[in-house]
Amino acid sequence: MHSSALFLIEFGAVILGLGLLGRLAGRLQFSPIPLYLLAGLAFGEGGLLPLGASEEFVAIGAEIGVILLLLMLGLEYTASDLVSNLKTQYPAGLVDAALNALPGAAMALLLGWGPVAAVVLAGVTWISSSGVIAKVLGDLGRLGNRETPVILSILVLEDLAMAVYLPIITALLAGVSLAAGSLTLAIALGVAGLVLFLAVRYGRVISRFVSSDDPEKLLLVVLGLTLLVAGIAQQLQVSAAVGAFLVGIALSGEVAEGAHNLLSPLRDLFAAVFFVFFGLHTDPASIPPVLLPALALATVTACTKIATGYWAAKRAGISAKGRWRAGGTLVARGEFSIVIAGLAVTAGIEPELGPLATAYVLILVILGPLTARYTQPLAMRLTGRRKPAATAARAEVAETGGAAEAPREAVDQHGGH
């Protein structure tokens, strides 16, 4: 009885604290992710007030948080949208991967961490935070800008790449042989291809089977199906997160929209728990020794993300101002960088990887909104291409013109994770 009461008090205090931190972040117009990470550092080993009774439940909640993050990600895209993005935007995705994954891999090798840690850190530096970016676009009133579809396309391609990357990293962290790892990847790709085929051909049938007018029944069926598929995927060494992502893709139409609305509060709750859990497993004393490498890596990859957005926007015919805005907007890293690092921390491959990833994400989740706001005016000033006020105003109208509603809808959906 005493331990049960202690658990309720401890876990209730954690949730209440997260709610207050989220409210503070909202007032500051800031992403709550760094505050959640700092809360985890405060309550973890070596922190101000280590948790005891509720740590096991927090670990389970963190795993559910990852699953819900990927499920909601899948709900935002239809199979036809994914295929279309792959066909038209894959060059930008390749440039994004090359420019932003290689610095992470190089840093891990320079620190002597080995090839597995290099693959993990490559993923940490590669994937932008779509949740932070969507919020920034809304706050800055850029939802209808001409460069916004370019930004969304890069984010979609990164999300798709996760479906292939996560099984690879899971196999590497499990220490399986090359043959077993190849089999795992083949299974993952085969399942992903099968789900995409079924979603394109029979998406309406699947959605009709899951559909219900009763919100309670819809919530239970979608959540239960997701956890079941995620568990089966994990049992097959594919990745629970990928299984959840595929379930999201398979659902479409009103079912996807209804599930998105019902699951958003649960996603937000368990995602916050996940960030706390990651912080719990990072000793605050371990961050200062890796702060310099994290700062160097953040500086390099902020520049490479800006270059990625600039190149992709130029390829799409966007003017110079829009190119710089696209690049600056992509800088923020967040949720999925922590997901990737969390897999490595759980596997215990490199003690310093978790602290470095924490410091790296903290730096860029703070820097990201600033680069989104100031990269373009700073670049214009440095290149001496500032225009007279009237000309600049006309150019700004041209940049923000066009069909604003489609990008706005896409970003509103994307902002959920």
268: tokens are: 């937000």
pTM given for the model: 0.73
- Choose among 106, 34, 29: nearest CA to 365: 34
In the predicted model, residues of the chain with pLDDT beneath 50 are 1, 386, 388-393, 395, 402-417
Residue 325 is predicted with a pLDDT of: 94
What is the rounded end-to-end Cα distance, in angstroms, of the chain? 37
- Provide the pLDDT for residue 100: 96
Handedness of CA 160, 164, 167, 171 (dihedral sign): negative
What pLDDT shows up at residue 238?
Answer: 62
Q: pLDDT, tens digit, for every residue of 350-379?
A: 888 989 998 998 899 888 888 998 999 999
* Per-residue confidence (pLDDT) for residue 392, from 0 to 100: 47
pLDDT at 94: 93
Write down the pLDDT at residue 407. 41
What pLDDT score was predicted for residue 405?
39
Q: According to the model, what pLDDT value does residue 409 have?
A: 42
Residue whose C-alpha is closest to residue 333's, from 58, 152, 135, 126: 126
HEC-encoded secondary structure of 395-409: HHHHHCCCCCHHHHH
pLDDT of residue 278: 73
Q: What does the CA dihedral 397, 402, 407, 408 come to, rounded to 10 degrees?
A: 60
Confidence (pLDDT) at 293: 94
Query: Within the chain, what is the greatest distance between any pair of CA atoms?
Result: 72
pLDDT attached to residue 360: 93
pLDDT of residue 105: 95
